Amino acid sequence: MEKITLLEQEVINALCYFHAKFKHVEPTDVEVELKYDDAAGYTAEAYVNGQMDFYNTVNFITAIRLYLDEKLNRDSISARIMLELHDDEGIVAKIEW
């Protein structure tokens, strides 16, 4: 079984790419703030031109799947994606095939 880890910056990149694709802007135009809450789980706020959009855990996984498919050229359908919160590393995505 192959495993990779997307560190927090790569998770942010995935969300920026996802958000930019659907807002028709460049990923560098997007700012993302990651959050974790025991009740809400993994969430993010994405900002473009002063407008904020909210992402929940399902959106996180969808963004990572798109990033895997289009940026890393990996099969996201068969990937098992687990989000984890680490004191030192922040929010990371552990991916297994």
CA distances from 57 to 13, 15, 24, 49, 73 (A): 16, 11, 22, 24, 23
The whole-model pTM stands at: 0.93
CA distances from 24 to 42, 51, 79 (A): 25, 14, 27
DSSP 8-state secondary structure symbol assigned to residue 92: E
- Residues 18-31: pLDDT tens digits? 999 999 999 999 99
Cβ-based neighbours of 44, under 8 Å, separated by 6 or more: 15, 32, 33, 34, 35, 54, 55, 59, 60
1 pLDDT exceeds 90?
A: no
- Residues 32-73: pLDDT tens digits? 999 999 999 999 999 999 999 999 999 999 999 999 999 999
Mean pLDDT for 69-88 is: 96
